[in-house]
Structure 1
């Protein structure tokens, strides 16, 4: 009788230790990611100053000359635009893929199931946070 209590207690102690270690590790990783984002923000459509910030960071870290700074800034600005185009294409492709998937599922369902499926999809659309759509960059040369 005593052996199983010892085993359960030992497992509980090790389990709590593993849980605590996981939580501490997650906090450390979150903190480091936040630090990385402060130093090197992602080139998102909302972050229009990304190329300038990255160039400034590089200028300070590797002592870029003024000519190098201009060239690096131009490279990073082009990269930012390329990434925005890729994201928009991916967004459209994903949307089309989801539509195709929904239609394929719908074809497999009977009428009562289809009605429930429509309700699930309606809730799914309503539950998604509405994010502002990025405006196209029309001032490209």
Structure 2
């Protein structure tokens, strides 16, 4: 095959590849940016690893097992605030998120109600700024073996 034939064949192949490549994907069901409830849910879901770790750390002195926090079990986003923290005159946006949760053990036996304030840095680092234990909930007698000491 001569050079002209190779060029034409390559051009046709390149054109077919471009035609068959998928274009930008659209989100199924449309954009959710106009739905505040879904945006709140998305924030809560993204913060669940930090929330579960905070609950585990708080309840460690009181329970032999770590309670679970689930976004569908009474978890509520209370507030989101943005603040500026200047460090050496560099703009450093910071978000504080307050979430109320009901950590549970077993088949959704709530051990309490807690309010967690999380700090979110531009790097994506999430830190627990404050952990408030608002209520303690008793467990049934068949769960007495997981209690190390009485909760506050």
TM-score by length of structure 2 reads 0.28
Q: TM-score, normalised by structure 1?
A: 0.30
> Larger strand proportion, structure 1 or 2?
2
